[in-house]
Structure 1
Amino acid sequence: MVDFNPYDAGTWADPYPTYAALRAEAPVYRNDDLRFWALSRHADVLAAHNDWETYSSAGGVTIEGIEKDFPMLVVKDPPDHHWHRRIVSKVFTPRRMSELEPFIRRQARELLDAQRDATEFDIVGEFALPLPLEIISELLGIPVEHRMTVNRLSDLLTERGPDTDPNQFAEAIGGLLALYLELVVERRRKPQDDVISMIIQTEVTDDEDGRTRRLSDEEIAFRFLELGTAGHETVARAIPNGLMAMTRFPDQARMLRDDPSLATKAVEETLRLDPPSQLQGRTTTRDVTLHGVTIPAGAKVMLVTGSALRDETVYDRPDVFDLTRQHHPSTLFFGFGIHRCLGAHLARLEIKIAFEEIFARYPEFHLDLDRAEWQVSTNVRGVSGLPFIVDPAGASVPAGA
């Protein structure tokens, strides 16, 4: 019988054989020790995302559900969810995204410039992590001096495992909220031309009761905590995930090198083959029977996106990184339905630019997969360290050359 513990280090390093067993043997799985159920087939995960009335987010999106009592958008269901999301969606307008593109490319080049003479460096610590941190910080208006603190506390917020300090979640969320509240109070006193000031001043009409709504200081702080964490954690894991995939499938790396226009396909295939967001938690509001198994009302159910995106009934050769893949049946890697990721376009853009700049700069490189350092966290899977080795014939090419 298959055993699925998302926090097991071996499973986290390679969960896909376990996912395949779940789909085949236990599409409705129960972990009695951690007290959660899991759905692993594409059709079931997609249906659950689209049925928020049955699969509620209000109980939290992690196995532990620690975040359920906080005023976060990710744990809100309609009707409150609608007007809260309408305010935050103003952060991710097409105009703001297009304005960020030159900044993203400049940041990517500067980070790689700093490694110009290196024959080996950590692609995570020196590139994949600081790049999205700078982008989301620039978008949200987080001062430069606070950005590494945001990174450190965000890591503490999501880290899980047998050796995890039980007090670190409180330390992380307390530190981040204090930082964001300080920024909100400062912007109320002295508004600027930035996102924080814009959200403070934004009001929307609640479709449910017709009332005009604004976010409180605490709600704004929690929105920025969510955006700041999600906005750099997922991209920071997706970039090395894609590079590792192309190391395992060198023929696809050659295709991308020969045809840079395939960078967009490389992003989509990275997010399908090895998505950074592996699990999304929901709580059932009624009894649900699937595949002859009944999940009771009030149960924690984890939607296993990482498994759904390798469902062999949906994808041809699901375990292969394939830049010629013709279509993606759904974009489950950014969630679906009302909780689809607000920053999906920005994340895609950052990963695409990262791939373009790396392949343009290094004619030949490889990653030492044996020295990859896996970090076990709540829902986001990826490495915290990964050696990037410049091959002798692959010296760095100056940006724009």
Structure 2
Amino acid sequence: MSETASQPTGATAGRCPFSHAAPATAQAELKHPERCPVSANAAAFDPFSDGYQQDPPDYVRWAREQEPVFYSPKLGYWVVTRYDDIKAIFRDNLTFSPSIALEKITPTGPEANAVLESYGYAMNRTLVNEDEPAHMPRRRVLMEPFTPEHLKHHEPMVRRLTREYVDRFIDDGRADLVDQMLWEVPLTVALHFLGVPEEDMDLLRQYSIAHTVNTWGRPRPEEQVAVAHAVGNFWQFAGKVLDKMRQNPDGPGWMQYGIRRQKEHPDVVTDSYLHSMMMAGIVAAHETTANATANAMKLLLQHPHAWRELCEDPSLIPNAVEECLRHNGSVAAWRRLATKDVRIGGVDIAAGAKLLIVTSSANHDERHFADADLFDIRRDNASDHVTFGYGSHQCMGKNLARMEMQIFLEEFTRRLPHMRLAEQSFSYVPNTSFRGPEHLWVEWDPAQNPERAQSALLDAHVPVRIGEPSSHALSRPVVVERVEAVADGIVRLRLAAPEGGTLPRWAPGAHIDVECGETGLSRQYSLCGDPADAGAFEIAVLRESASRGGSAWVHDTLRAGMRLKIRGPRNHFRLDEEGRRAIFIAGGIGITPISAMARRARELGIDYELHYSGRSRATMAFIDELAQQHGERLYLYVSDEGTRNDLDALQVDAHTRVYACGPARLLDALQAASEAWPEDALRVEHFAASVGQLDPANEHAFEVELKDSGLVLTVAPDQTVLDALRRANIDVQSDCEEGLCGSCEVRVLAGQIDHRDVVLTRAERETQSRMMTCCSRAKGARLVLEL
């Protein structure tokens, strides 16, 4: 199958890349499409259609499920739709060149080309579409203003602008958020960041739209000349502003920073590059943020429960931003060029082929995001989205966008929590890659504005998190449904979802973090109830004699009917459900995760034993329940009755896994006993981490090479790998930062790791392929990470 003359050309002048059953001319192929293996869905794919514009992930759902890599004859591109394939493409920018990222997806006619030429239009390579070896040296030279510590300086300005614009319509009861705020504020912030004078805002909006349509759209022949004039004027505007900046290179702004760096690196930061980046930067720094925020507000107001939770708990805003970027981001797709024959998702792609990688589809891939179509502002892997791209070409301005979106949502949730979507239909500027509603009408009752009754409302603000969100922010409310004593000093709590709701699914071995009062204190407790019970979590808490505040607060304060906040569940102590035999060992309160594991083993028909030790029967929780559930498979060891578990007598063969949780002395004894067992037989859950304060006197500096990002960082003796990654603008999630929770795990491609976490097993450590960046370090001089 091939294109008609009016369709845009692809990598091979629009010719179908497949070998047909019989030689045919282009016209013959059109008459006999049955000879071409392009599927009917692929042949019908049209990214300029209303279906794609309204909801790209849903439009290509069939592809994610049935044909994840397909050829589009209408577009002349191969289309890639699944998460892992797209991540692999981003990772390899040599095989998959970004050189066509800013190429006109619809070639313009000679008249429009003549118009562009008359303006001296000469758009060159930028950081977006530049190949190596030019790209990374330029990125390194120009990256510093985008790091979190430098972006903090812009926060007061973003807050001031946001407040001023909301003030303009707060008492009107109706507003188009796009026209009245979400376009102009990001544009003003972008100009401020770049160092461009704030002038001709309406004109710049027209220029920006024209640039989008010219590059990623399908303007009709009669529209192309008008678009060309706007783009030509934009080009000349950018040149004039740059000339002014050269007269004052010490002024604030990223472009002035680039002019100063040009003096040090004239071969890296060239004149043509600065002119091209001036124009591209104005678009990139504001249009995507404007669209992303409009998409986010539309999405949140379409989900009133999520909007209400955000209004009640602003600490959820950072992760809500990530989920909005995942579920309905402003970047629908990027483009790449195959530089050699390659295989993607089981499909052979020839050198020279053009790729449309639908990142919005990747963000809805069920293989990576559970219940991917569900909008969940507490999704724990929301920041895995590829809306910002990934690797060496990941958007440098991502954290500026995050900051703006957080501040916008904070202002709206605090001042207009009663806002709702007005009746309307949504339209989008037709193009393959960037999307956001052209208008977003909202309504509210000004008489209900909270600030009319609470004058102090405007004085407070939520601290902005610049960078990837911490899972500390993913708290959810629960109601204490029941508190009961289950042993001396141990209470079991049943924590239910409010208003009869449901709680996230969990598997045996999982734990939750409980926020203990208003002090910010957080403690981890293993889940010990039935995973099939979606309405509540159960935990058991021992009152520690040397309590740091957590267990004492639980015992002294919590009563039925009270509300508290939890985070999780998370699980780094999983039961191998394919295993043939399991031995469960618990000491004291360590029975909590073990009881859930043993229950699951019984359900699955796994051969198992349960060994439970304690000081006295009175101090051992769940004894009667466990006896009823497990009968002769339960072995009790009670110190004051003179019975003790002989760990060396355990029969552990290659088919047996030993799962243990309890006090340090029990786990240390098991570790010693396990030396005689098959490798990796022992799986342990720790109560606490052993990581102490970093002592620079006993550490050495080392380098970490980030393979996917093309960076080499130095980790100082007084710095963790996680700290170094954050300062370099690299996203890595974290939570406990004690080597206990596993949130900050990364893959290691080379180098010897000094493991200091309590998450990885012995065998996992010996592979030298994973590390926790919050605590573990390099044994030698260098590590290579898959980041």
The one of the two structures with greater contact order (alpha-carbon pairs below 8 A, sep at least 6) is 1
Distance in 1 between residues matched to 2:368 and 2:263, nearest whole Å: 40
Give the counterpart of 1:219 among 247, 250, 273. 273
Q: Tell me what 2:66 maps to.
A: 25
Q: 1:198 aligns with which of 249, 257, 268?
A: 257
Tell me the alpha carbon deviations over residues 180-234 of structure 1, each in whole angstroms, 9 at most, x when there is no partner: 21122222234342223321121498xxxxx863523331121122221011111
**Bigger Cα displacement from structure 2, 234-243 vs 374-383:** 374-383
Q: Which position in structure 1 is the counterpart of 2:92?
A: 51
Q: Which residue of 1 aligns with 2:52?
A: 11
CA distance in 1, matches of 2:426, 2:262: 46
What pairs with 1:240-251 in structure 2 (closer than 5 Å)?
240-251=294-305
Compared CA separation, residues 62 and 391, structure 1 to 2 (3 A) = farther
Amino acid at match of 1:85: R
Instruction: Say if 1:252 and 1:329 are closer, same or farther in 2 by CA, change over 3 A.
Output: closer
The structure 2 residue matched to 1:184, chosen from 234, 239, 242, is: 242
1:74 to 122, 128, 149: 128
Q: 1:95 to 1:326 in 2, by over 3 A?
A: closer
Q: Name the structure 2 match of 1:300.
A: 354
Contact 1:59 1:68 in 2 (8 A): no
- Greater Cα shift, 221-230 or 344-353: 221-230
One-letter amino acid of the structure 1 residue matched with residue 49 of structure 2: D
Aligned counterpart in structure 1 of residue 80 of structure 2, from 31, 36, 39: 39
Q: 1:296 to 1:185 in 2, by over 3 A?
A: same
State the superposition RMSD in angstroms. 2.3
2:589 counterpart residue number: none
- Aligned partners of 1:94 and 1:140: how far apart in 2? 16
User: TM-score if structure 2 supplies the norm length?
Assistant: 0.48
Instruction: Supply the distance in 1 between the matched residues of 2:345 and 2:148 (Cα, whole angstroms).
Output: 42
Change (3 A) 1:168 1:283: farther
TM-score (norm 1): 0.92
The 5-angstrom pairing of residues 143-182 of structure 1 reads 143-159=197-213, 160-161=217-218, 163=220, 165-182=223-240
On the 8 A contact 2:302/2:421 being kept in 1, the answer is no
Report if aligned partners of 1:286, 1:296 keep a CA contact under 8 Å in 2.
yes
SS in 1 for 2:136: helix
Query: Is the counterpart of residue 290 in structure 1 residue 344 in structure 2?
Result: yes
Q: Matched residue of 2:396: which SS?
A: coil
Contact 2:172 2:446 in 1 (8 A): no
**CA shift digits 1:318-340 (9 cap, x unpaired):** 11110221223724110011110
1:256 matched residue in structure 2: 310
In the TM superposition, what are the counterparts of 1:87-166 in structure 2 within 5 Å? 87-159=141-213, 160-161=217-218, 163=220, 165-166=223-224
CA distance in 1, matches of 2:382, 2:55: 23
Superposition deviation, residue 124 in structure 1: 0.6
- Secondary structure of the residue aligned to 2:224 is coil
**1:131, distance to aligned residue in structure 2 (A):** 1.2
Contact 1:86 1:204 in 2 (8 A): no
Larger Rg: 2
Q: What is the number of residues matched between the two proteins? A: 396
- Structure 1 range deviating more: 106-115 or 1-10: 1-10
Kindly tell me: are residues 116 and 98 of structure 1, through their superposed partners in 2, closer, same or farther at Cα, counting changes over 3 Å? same
Check the 8 A contact 2:100/2:336 in 1, yes or no: yes
Q: Percent identity?
A: 29
Matched-pair contact (CA < 8 Å) for 1:181–1:221? yes
Bigger Cα displacement from structure 2, 60-69 vs 238-247 = 60-69
Go from structure 1 to structure 2 and tell me whether the alpha carbon gap of 1:335 and 1:144 turns closer, same or farther (over 3 Å shift). same
TM-superposed CA distance for 1:7, in Å, is 1.0
Maintained 8 Å contact 2:242/2:278: no
Q: Distance in 2 between matches of 1:137 and 1:128?
A: 14
1:345 matched to which residue of 2? 399
- State the shift of 1:298 in Å: 0.5
Alpha-carbon displacement from aligned partner over 1:277-301 (angstroms, at most 9, x marks no partner): 1101000011222344322110110
The Cα of 1:52 is off from its aligned counterpart by 0.8
Which residue is equivalent to 1:267? 321
Cα distance, 1:92 vs. partner?
A: 1.8
- The Cα of 1:173 is off from its aligned counterpart by 3.2
What amino acid sits opposite 1:81 in the alignment?
H
Relative to structure 1, the CA distance from residue 229 to residue 378 in structure 2 (aligned partners, 3 Å threshold; closer, same or farther) is: farther
- 1:317 is aligned to 371
Q: Give 3-state SS (helix, strand or coil) of 2:101's partner.
A: coil
- The amino acid that maps onto 1:181 is G
Per-residue CA shift, 1:245-280, capped at 9, x if unaligned? 112221111110110111101100000001111101
Q: Which residues of structure 1 form unaligned runs of 5+?
A: 206-210
- Quote the Cα distance in structure 2 between the aligned partners of 1:328 and 1:363: 24
242-251 or 83-92, which moves further after superposition?
Answer: 83-92
Residues 323, 383 of structure 2: 8 Å contact kept: no
Identify the structure with the greater helix proportion.
Answer: 1
Report the alpha carbon displacement of residue 305 of structure 1 after superposing the two structures with TM: 0.4
CA drift of 1:371 comes to: 2.8
* CA distance in 1 between partners of 2:412 and 2:366 (Å): 31
Tell me, in whole angstroms, the C-alpha distance in 1 between the residues paired with 2:224 and 2:301.
Answer: 36
